Structure 1
């Protein structure tokens, strides 16, 4: 089973709402729904709401004006565990909606930004996490081209990540203790693959096998120093 699947398992019973049903919002809603989560979708465009229901990518969908707190409350938005504000191209509506959702008591609010200034404003009004898809896609592409040994990545914050990487060739046959990853690279080992499964918190005497994978945590600067 994938290490990162286990890492996110505690979210399984949470309820999500997606506000804004453009390409990004639809993709988020569809992915969450396909994974078995309860998803409520809303948009000011009734045609988009009808399309979501027709395509069966959400449990519930409603047409409303998200800049109106009363409409959000009546729709049950404030009762959701996580709300994704996916109104990236309409800055004013995005900011007002994010503010409304936070003031409504939603614990975790994720908002989509269309620019760096937009991102700063969303953080100012209380967004817990801001995504900048175009920027992040570009960074991910660059990393995949320059670090093809990275199989998966979970960003803890802009400076630190957990990554799953193919064990570098000259690491093979050596133990974790011999590699001294903490002192040499500033990284801590979380797991090592073993016959298609992950061994969590492996022993320092664990010998790394060629072609297997290792999961480490640390700063992005240190991760970039790995010979992969």
Structure 2
């Protein structure tokens, strides 16, 4: 996570009650956001310039309300109720001009939390300049995830704390089999701390150092990316 985003998420958390969401753009990314929020019990207002996408979202019941609008027009956004929402996700990634104008309109309309999808680094910079509070770059993030999974197949999941430090879930290397956590000496040998490991289908958090690692065990460690890369994955 980019540390510059902490203020944004702190603001979201402090305004957690009765939060209202709107999603502009009902492509694959926008639909996924709508469906996840709707399934979590939140009311979601969706908008798209394509009537077919709007009708499909309503038929699939992944939104509470949906409107066909031109989001580059402030009057249309206001009429649709977008400016009344607490958080608006601008999920228009492939049409840069429309994305930027929409983000600017939504922010100028007084929406406190505006999240925008970027399709390139330049797009990301422009979105921030016109007022986006948080920018996501899903294609870039998925590309990084795919590259890591192909080059480091032992790593099951990864959470980047910042560009230099991460928490990773990984399959314990063969060399760890039959050894206790204390015997592995992860901190002295690799500069890593073990947070959890799997046993009998569930994770044990802050495990006893005398517990043993067996073949196929998943472990969760935290440390610098440089030290994580030194593990015999």
The TM-score bracket by the shorter chain reads: 0.7 to 0.9
Taking structure 1 as the reference length, the TM-score comes to 0.78
Q: Does 1:167 align with 2:180?
A: no
Whole-Å separation in 2 of the counterparts to 1:20 and 1:213: 38
Among 220, 225, 232, which residue is 1:227 paired with?
A: 232
Unaligned runs of 5+ in 2: 1-12
Q: Does 1:147 align with 2:152?
A: yes
Secondary structure at the counterpart of residue 178 of structure 2: coil
Secondary structure at the counterpart of residue 87 of structure 1: coil
Residue-by-residue CA offset, 1:117-164 (whole Å, 9 max, x unaligned):
111222333434433333333222221111111222333444443221
Equivalent residue number for residue 24 of structure 1: 29
Q: Do the aligned residues in 1 keep the contact of 2:88 with 2:111 (CA within 8 Å)?
A: no
CA 1:78–1:191: 2 relative to 1, 3 Å = farther
CA 1:127–1:158: 2 relative to 1, 3 Å = farther
Secondary structure at the counterpart of residue 99 of structure 1: helix
Q: Do the aligned residues in 2 keep the contact of 1:78 with 1:106 (CA within 8 Å)?
A: no
Q: Size of the alignment, in residue pairs?
A: 217
What is the correspondence of 1:60-99 to structure 2 with a 5 Å cutoff?
60-69=65-74, 71-73=76-78, 75-78=80-83, 80=85, 82-99=87-104
Unaligned runs of 5+ in 1: 1-9
**Cα offset, 1:201, TM superposition:** 2.3
Equivalent residue number for residue 208 of structure 1: 213
Q: Does 1:120 align with 2:134?
A: no
**Cα offset, 1:186, TM superposition:** 3.4
Equivalent residue number for residue 3 of structure 1: none
Q: Does 1:132 align with 2:133?
A: no
Q: Do the aligned residues in 2 keep the contact of 1:191 with 1:198 (CA within 8 Å)?
A: yes
Equivalent residue number for residue 112 of structure 2: 106
CA 1:54–1:209: 2 relative to 1, 3 Å = same
**Cα offset, 1:165, TM superposition:** 0.9
Q: Does 1:195 align with 2:186?
A: no
| CA-atom RMSD in angstroms | 2.9
